[in-house]
Amino acid sequence: MVDGRTYTALSKIPLSIGYDFQTLQLLGGIIGWLFAKPSRDSLNGFQLTGGIFNYTATITFPQENKKVTIHTKFLGLDVFDQLRLETKIEGETPKIPGESKISMPAYEEMLTLTSPGTVQSISERHVKYITVDKDEIRIPINVNQNIVFSYCPYGDVPSRITWRLKVAKNFISYESREQIIRFGLTSKVTSLTEKDPCDEGKSTCGPDSSCVVENDSFRCVCNPGYQYIYVDNQQVCQDIDECQAGLNDCHQNAQCINHKGSFTCRCDNLYEGNGRFCEPTKSCYSVTCPENSECKENPFAYCECLQGFTRASDQSCVAETTESCYYSNNCSPYGVCSPDPETNQYRCSCIEEYEGDGYDCRPSNTTTVAESTTESVVIQQCLLGTCWCPTGYKKHESDKCILDVESTTAAETSLKPGTINQQCFLGNCWCPEGYQKYGERYCVPDTEATSTYSTVTETEQVDEPTEIASCENLSDCHINAQCIYVQATRSYQCICNFGYEGDGYDCVQAEVSCTEADICDIHAVCKYNDTVGKSTCVCDFGYEGDGKSCQKLAACRGDKDCPTNEQCRYNQESQSYECDCKEGMERDSQHICNKVEGMCGAAICVDNSECLYDRENQIYYCSCRDGYIGDGINECNPRPLGCDVTNDCGRNAACIYDEEYGFYQCKCNEGFHGDGKQCFAEKNCHVDPYICDSRAVCVTNSQREFVCQCQPGFSGDGKHCKETPVHEGNFLLLNQGVATLKIPFDASKKNPGRPIHINHQTAVGLDIDCFDGRVYWSDINGRTILSAFYNGSSVAKFIAIDIVSPEGLSVDWVSRNIYWTDSTKDTIEVANIDKKIRKVLFNTSLVNPRGIAVHPQRGKIFWSDWDRRGPKIEWANADGTDRQTFLQGDNVKLPNSLAIDFETEQLCYADAGTKNVECVEIDSRLRHIIAVNCTYPFGIAVTDKTIYWSDWISKKVERVDKYSLKRLPPLDVPLGGTGNKLYGLVAVPERCPSLTNVCEHFKNNCPSGHFCVPDGRGSRRCLCGKNIDSNNIEVPCQN
């Protein structure tokens, strides 16, 4: 190999910036350095850093006067040997005309190891393109790069080395339809053979800078964490405040602390970690609780208000005014507890020179002459029969005070704000905690009293205290903030003005909440965000943006992205590619394209509905008749009585008329969420840690929401956790013809396994109810679904009516529901295990449904379809809504069984067409090939360490290490089964995975004849259907 060759592709680059993005070839260039071919004793980037480093590049375009900054964290290789990184790009690039092809000539750059763990480089290059007039446009580029990585301080670390990186055969392309930009190049790295120019040049570099080689010369550049500024017409390197500039990676529960050339992250109170990652602390050792509270542990540390105090909205503890101060001792530090002659009860009263209700006392506005009111007469302050005047006043008449001008001295008028008045009561005066007496009237901080103040007399001038580096001295508050003395911290702090929010050093105008004004886009909703603690605008599914402005996403890139009977076309109105019905097809209200002939808008209307024509949209549609509600295709049910009649709204809810459905419904009040019958305050465990059960922890879910999660060995919603039942586990169950077989994870000749059930059947689909310790399987010969305990005892039929060929089944043990596919009826169905009620979820656009898997916590179901013309894997919400194609294309040919890896949040499937076993990340759709060249994989099962699959050709259970992907010896199948084919496969754990959903706790709240299913959006629906023991008896439905 002469040179290293790298390709870098970035997807989802919108057309508006796609062609301009071609000038950022450096995104591929840094990958080229990582994998350049090293020659002689040189090292490429990966050999030097191991793929773990921080990368900062500043790209300037001098002709255009534009600049782009790239910040990248290279995180090393993951378990699939893929390099992980996080990149942030800011700035502006030159404009490149559409459809222009950019080229970049070969170039060289010098990379200098300026200090252990730091590589710096400065170089020049250019790109060029041809205009429509055949003119060649050349764009010069200046590049400044900093690479910081960890090194072993005890190893042989060179002081400085310079490498020469040679880059050639640059390939740059932007594909507008796919919105992908590609960079390709060849690269090699060599050591510098000639004399290093920095050997002499480094002596000319100033403080906080280093010498780097530039072609045959050198240049002084600022060290990482510093930037050039001009001082007295000279360039000097000044520290960058990464905390102010937002250039830090501190955790959201951490504070950023700037240092010269770097910064550190420190976890907030009640959290512990390295600052980049912080989690709730378990020990009170390092916790500082607010005033009037104490730290407790259960199991995590938290601050609890003392008796007589209650938690305020800002998490501080304020006095509970209904509690007697005689017992609770909840008066302000500047108040006293005394009996009230009028009520004969103890109450709090503020001491002299303080005002308030006794529970919250603040310095009076008349504490000194300099601060006093301009009024010459004020009323005396009295407590327990003793009356006094504020400082600077003297008694006048029986109940008044007048200004005492003669008592005001120069010392009093020149006091610093840090000096406060002594507190006096009944002739006794004292200083608050943290202060000591200063003269006859004043208190100063005890740490400064002896060193910064001299004794005060009535005629002497007060010495000024030593200045502290606060906003009072530095005047460094934001323009929309003020420097205010905060009594609680006894220091000056920058506080943002009203209408602004921030830390006082950076204040931005506070946004109007979408709950107060209609600021969301028409394609967005106002939704409470636990992470930021307020309601924000969120774009609807299929749209992207900040919620205030939402643009439609491209729904497809080709026909293969569209469902059956649809094709990808460009929509002039939305200006994006969308899936549209093919000729002769129309879309029904379920968004499915069907043939038009003999139908109502490509749909068949159900009973109690009629076919109507929409003149505006020029389409026929099914609509429920008066007195019924539904979609007109699946159901039209009698309209229920509104809450204005039933009067059954819950607490914190109101009965509001719903214009969409035409009757009154219960709606939760603002600040609460729920179904109107039950409403819950919008709070989370991040704000209030002790809402979690003692056997749960507060974590973030895939939507970045803080939720309580039960610890291993317990199940529940995190707020209530109970011990998960323990059953026999750590083995596989396999269907083979007439038998269901039990195989140990590490089967041997001495312990090969055994049948747990043998019958005249053809057992195919298979899954377990890990909560009750039962196994469910389908018999396509007997047209039934059966169940038994793990040991094969207590065999029972679950469904034996109106079922033909149930090839796949999956159990939601949390909601107590079982889902199955029927390849003869072409349906996806669900039934409740406890209530024995079933319902058809889908009966259209299915050709040969086979495998199925359910994710209880996400509320999602996945199924495979052996449609020879368009095989695919689909998914939908567990209640049958929001059906979509999950995976389709060349990687899906004959998809058989599905399984979910709950540990990695991946959907795994066995494909007999590609002969591969693959796993796909549910959120990103990123594919991971687990095994190739499988002969005919069918069933699949996943454990914490291993992925298993059954193979029709090898007639064994194949397996692979989940993390190393090393093929392990296959497991032989024990005797007992018949036929050559191995079907369904499932792994049996001792405990259920720690998953939950809303149906776990509210499944009994559904009306009679209904069962609870998660709706895929964090809530639930009560579905009605028919009894599993009857073919035609429908359960009365009132949704």
**pLDDT mean over 206-223:** 88
Angle 312-314-319 (CA atoms, 0-180°, nearest 5)?
30
Q: Is the pLDDT of residue 375 over 60?
A: no
CA distance 358 to 346: 11
Q: Is the pLDDT of residue 791 over 70?
A: yes
Least-confidence region, from 368-372, 629-633, 787-791, 909-913: 368-372
pLDDT of residue 248: 83
pLDDT of residue 588: 59
Q: Is the pLDDT of residue 823 over 70?
A: yes
Q: Is 555 helix (H, G, I), strand (E, B) or coil?
A: coil
- For 336-365, what is each residue's pLDDT tens digit? 888 777 777 788 888 877 888 888 888 876
Tell whether omega for the bond before 752 is within 30 degrees of 0, i.e. cis. Answer: no
pLDDT of residue 895: 94
pLDDT of residue 547: 85
Q: Which residues of 599-628 are buried (b: 16+ CB within 10 A; e: fewer)?
A: bbbbbebbebbeeeeeeeeebbbbbbeeeb
Residue 793 CB-density burial (10 A; 0-12 exposed, 13-18 middle, 19+ buried): exposed
With cut-offs at 50, 70 and 90, classify the pLDDT of residue 957: very high
- For 508-551, what is each residue's pLDDT tens digit? 877 777 776 778 887 788 877 766 667 788 887 667 788 888 87
Compute CA 252 distance to the chain's CA centroid, rounded to the nearest angstrom: 11
Up-side HSE of residue 182: CA atoms within 13 Å toward CB?
10
Q: Contact 633/662 with Cβ under 8 angstroms?
A: no
pLDDT of residue 463: 40
CA distance 213 to 218: 4
**pLDDT mean over 720-726:** 79
Compute CA 719 distance to the chain's CA centroid, rounded to the nearest angstrom: 20
Q: Is the pLDDT of residue 1037 over 60?
A: no
**pLDDT mean over 798-820:** 94
DSSP codes of every residue in 503-544: SSSSEEEPPPPTTTS--S-TTEEEEEETTTTEEEEEEPTTEE
With cut-offs at 50, 70 and 90, classify the pLDDT of residue 943: very high
Least-confidence region, from 453-457, 708-712, 897-901: 453-457
pLDDT of residue 413: 43
Tally helices (H) and strands (E) across the chain.
11, 88
CA distance 576 to 555: 8
The three-state DSSP-derived secondary structure of 673-693 is EECCCCEEECCCCCCCHHHCC
The three-state DSSP-derived secondary structure of 411-473 is HHHCCCCCCEECEEECCEEECCCCEEEECCCEEEECCCHHHHCCCCCCCCCCCCCCCCCCHHH
What DSSP state is assigned to residue 292?
A: T
CA distance 808 to 270: 48
- For 963-972, what is each residue's pLDDT tens digit? 999 999 999 8
Q: Contact 138/126 with Cβ under 8 angstroms?
A: yes
Comparison of pLDDT for 371 and 902, the residue scoring more: 902
pLDDT of residue 306: 84
* Average pLDDT taken over every residue of the chain: 82
Q: Is 592 helix (H, G, I), strand (E, B) or coil?
A: coil
User: Which residue has tokens 């600022």?
Assistant: 222
CA distance 560 to 39: 46
Q: Is the pLDDT of residue 392 over 80?
A: no
With cut-offs at 50, 70 and 90, classify the pLDDT of residue 472: low
pLDDT of residue 380: 66
DSSP codes of every residue in 246-288: T-----TTEEEEEETTEEEEEEPTTEEESSSSEEE-S-STT--
pLDDT of residue 119: 93
With cut-offs at 50, 70 and 90, classify the pLDDT of residue 590: low
Q: Which residues of 285-322 are buried (b: 16+ CB within 10 A; e: fewer)?
A: eebebbebbebeeeebbbbebeebbebeeeeebbbebe
Task: Please report the domains of the chain, with CATH numbers, ordered by start residue.
Answer: 4-239 (2.40.155.10), 471-509 (2.10.25.10), 643-681 (2.10.25.10), 735-745+752-1014 (2.120.10.30)
Sequence-distant (6+) residues with CB within 8 A of 297 are: 282, 283, 284
pLDDT of residue 678: 86
Q: How far is CA 455 from CA 413, 418, 608, 1025, in A?
A: 16, 16, 95, 89
Least-confidence region, from 399-413, 756-770, 948-962: 399-413
Phi and psi torsions of 904, nearest 5°: -105, 0
CA distance 162 to 111: 6
User: Which residue has tokens 């969120």?
Assistant: 538
CA distance 235 to 774: 76
- For 21-49, what is each residue's pLDDT tens digit? 999 999 999 999 999 999 877 889 998 88
User: Which residue has tokens 């539904």?
Assistant: 630
Q: Is 131 helix (H, G, I), strand (E, B) or coil?
A: coil
- For 858-867, what is each residue's pLDDT tens digit? 999 999 998 8
Q: Is the pLDDT of residue 680 over 70?
A: yes
Q: Is the pLDDT of residue 676 over 80?
A: yes
Q: In this structure, what token pair is assigned to residue 288?
A: 């500082």
CA distance 852 to 917: 16
Percent of the chain with pLDDT over 90: 30
With cut-offs at 50, 70 and 90, classify the pLDDT of residue 630: confident
Q: Is the pLDDT of residue 411 over 90?
A: no
Sequence-distant (6+) residues with CB within 8 A of 588 are: 594, 601, 602, 603, 621, 622, 633
